[in-house]
Amino acid sequence: MEIRPISPHYAASPQLQPADIARAAEAGYKTVVCNRPDDEGEGQPKAAAMAAAARAAGVDFRFLPIKPGSISRDAMAAFNDILATAKGPILGYCRTGNRSATLWALSKAPLLSPDAICAATRAAGFDLAAMRPRLEAAFAGDADRAAVIRHDVVVVGGGAGGLAVIGSLLKRKPGLDVALIEPREEHFYQPGWTLVGAGVFKPAATRRRLMDVVPDEVQLIRGAVAAFRPEDDEVVLEDGQRVAYTALIVAPGLKLDWGAVPGLAETLGKNGVTSNYSYRGAPYTWELVKGLKSGKAIFTQPPMPIKCAGAPQKAMYLSADHWRRSGRLKSIDIEFCNAGGVLFGVPDYVPGLMKYVEKYGIDLSFGENLVAIDGPARKATFEVTKDGRTERVVKDFDMIHVCPPQTGPDFIKASPLADAAGWIEVNPDTLQHARFPKIWGMGDGTSTPNAKTAAAVRKQAPVVAINVLNQLKGRAAVAAYDGYGSCPLTVEKGRIILAEFGYGGKLMPSFPEWMIDGKQPTRAAWLLKERLLPPMYWQGMFKGREWLAQPNVTFKPVGAP
């Protein structure tokens, strides 16, 4: 628990756990306010559990959920009512504490000077400098008159897509006026989590501070997008700040919907329930694999689309290989429960994978979708579809590796940028938005029918950079994305089937067959995954070094006859 006092009456904190409520009471806090909606993140306790802990500790509990980017007038009225009626001192919390601190700042804006508010929140560890124009407007008596920040190019999202396209832009035009909007303070090399789950990488090797990977010349705006206003060429942040652009690149990633499977968020990381899709989960995968001597191990895959579609079975093969090497494989029953109907979406790679399925004695179960999990009882419920009929089946497990359902981010689904399925609607070739020409999309959050992988981002970044710079010059898009994606399928420790393909499942190998035959397991592909791809990510993609990512550039507008 990290309580950060802002005033004598109010403090804010990152996510609390039920056990923290009693400690807050011991520290003298009389009321706890939860500003985080239920099921927002993995392992997050629900408000009901927090309320029960508050009752047990004799503390008043208020639930005022604030979605990132939605601090409305009604929310402020409700918060002001809490400040006026609740016993103090008050402790507010959300994921990072920022929303709780922002609520306090806005509540005091008509009364305190911006200098005083920013000084108080800064002393508590919250940087609210970006919302200063709104504070100044409120102090002057006009809360709607927030100044507009303007940049030539605005990038939303500090993940692989956002940082890669910034690198490609600055490579072609040093000194370009670029701003990055991102609320998180850390960046993760998510492709490395498969090897964390196999004991090959340490978790810390996949994590860096965001400020250490953002170029110095880029204006980093710490905040979350609340709304897109394409008719005004603006985005609005959760604190009300408006950011205007000449070109907007949206690379928000996707949402791992842990809350879509009842029981999953509460038990992830314990009771034998793990996932390599989580920074905290990947080390637990390795802990479970090492410790399992016998029993049932289940690996799940939800309906498509998901990012890195091979990741669920990568974890399965590496686990099975460890059990084989340690002489335990015959004592462990392995089942792959796949909501889809095929082992892998590109048929050319299936024969090589099937050899390992047979080698490890894996039971393939298609049409089986995880819909609930009871961690303490170690039971998983699946909806099983067969011959047009669907029924629910409960399976026992000693270990279960879960790939969560995945959707477009909530703030994208609620925006005019989204298609009917909730993804950023873009042209699959140019990556320009289908309806708003000044907006471009890339990465896992778009509607393009390619594999959602870091390799796809590596290829998309120069395409978007070229087309955006052309747009700034008043020219048409001339670079096209071919749908390339790559999935290094770790079939055993030391060998990988390197699947590389584009739109329509067309094979797109990067190396000659004598060097790496992607349809067969090779040591060379393992060395690529373990030794070369991490520096290509950190030192290549983010710095505009477009290794294995040369864009397809035409001499006429893409799509022109």
Are residues 208 and 90 both part of a single domain?
no
Torsion of CA 278, 283, 289, 290, to 10 degrees: 180
Are residues 371 and 416 both part of a single domain?
no
Query: What pLDDT shows up at residue 142?
Result: 53
Are residues 126 and 197 both part of a single domain?
no
Burial of 556 (0-12, 13-18, 19+ CB in 10 A): exposed
- Residue 7 identity: S
Are residues 432 and 535 both part of a single domain?
yes
Tokens of 199: 């004991």
**Of 551, 541, 463, 548, which Cα lies nearest the Cα of 160?**
541
Q: Is residue 387 part of a domain?
A: yes
Q: 372, 404, 436: which is the final residue of a domain? A: 404
CATH number of domain containing 71: 3.90.190.10
Q: Is 94 a catalytic residue?
A: no
Alpha carbon distance 425, 418 (integer Å): 6
The single residue of 34, 94, 308, 337 carrying the catalytic annotation is: 308
Check if the beta carbon of residue 122 is closer than 8 Å to that of residue 217. no
Are residues 525 and 421 both part of a single domain?
yes
In a structure prediction context, what are the per-residue pLDDT tens digits for the chain, which is 561 residues long? 889 988 878 999 999 999 999 989 988 899 999 999 998 887 789 999 999 999 999 999 999 999 876 788 899 999 999 998 998 899 999 999 999 999 999 998 887 778 888 988 998 899 888 888 888 888 777 544 456 899 999 999 999 999 999 999 999 999 999 999 998 889 999 999 999 999 999 999 999 999 999 999 999 998 878 789 999 999 988 666 789 999 999 999 999 999 899 999 889 999 999 999 999 999 999 999 999 999 999 999 999 999 999 999 999 999 999 999 999 999 999 999 999 999 999 999 999 999 999 999 999 999 999 999 999 999 999 999 998 899 999 999 999 999 999 999 888 998 999 999 999 999 999 999 999 999 999 999 999 999 999 999 999 999 999 999 999 999 999 999 999 999 999 999 999 999 999 999 999 999 999 999 999 999 999 999 999 999 999 999 999 999 888 888 886 787 654
Q: Is residue 107 part of a domain?
A: yes
Q: Is residue 144 part of a domain?
A: no
Q: Is 308 a catalytic residue?
A: yes
Helix (H) or strand (E) holding 321: helix 311-325
Domain holding 364, by residue range, is 260-404
Q: Is residue 278 part of a domain?
A: yes
The single residue of 94, 118, 403, 487 carrying the catalytic annotation is: 487
Residue with tokens 């035409």: 554
Strand segments (E) across 251-328: 255-256, 273-274, 295-301
Query: What pLDDT shows up at residue 555?
Result: 66
Check if the beta carbon of residue 193 is closer than 8 Å to that of residue 206. yes
Are residues 394 and 295 both part of a single domain?
yes
Alpha carbon distance 284, 281 (integer Å): 5
Query: What pLDDT shows up at residue 561?
Result: 47
Query: What pLDDT shows up at residue 143?
Result: 45
Tokens of 221: 């705006």
Alpha carbon distance 320, 349 (integer Å): 19
Are residues 224 and 236 both part of a single domain?
yes
- Residue 225 identity: V
CATH number of domain containing 292: 3.50.50.60
- Complete DSSP assignment for 324-377: HHTT-GGGEEEEEEESSSSS-SSGGGHHHHHHHHHHHT-EEEESEEEEEEETTT
Q: Is residue 279 part of a domain?
A: yes
Are residues 532 and 458 both part of a single domain?
yes
Are residues 397 and 423 both part of a single domain?
no
Q: Is residue 558 part of a domain?
A: no
Q: 139, 159, 174: which is the final residue of a domain? A: 139
Q: How many domains does the chain have?
A: 3
Q: Name residues whose C-beta falls within 8 Å of residue 346's C-beta, 6 or more positions apart in sequence.
A: 499, 501, 505, 507
Are residues 446 and 548 both part of a single domain?
yes
Check if the beta carbon of residue 452 is closer than 8 Å to that of residue 307. yes
Alpha carbon distance 93, 52 (integer Å): 16
Q: 114, 139, 164: which is the final residue of a domain? A: 139
Query: What pLDDT shows up at residue 146?
Result: 54
How crowded is residue 327: how many other Cβ atoms within 10 Å of its Cβ? Answer: 8
Are residues 412 and 391 both part of a single domain?
no
Length of the chain: 561
Are residues 23 and 133 both part of a single domain?
yes
Check if the beta carbon of residue 247 is closer than 8 Å to that of residue 468. yes
Q: Is residue 560 part of a domain?
A: no
Separation of CA 212 from chain center = 19
Alpha carbon distance 333, 50 (integer Å): 38
Q: Is residue 13 part of a domain?
A: yes
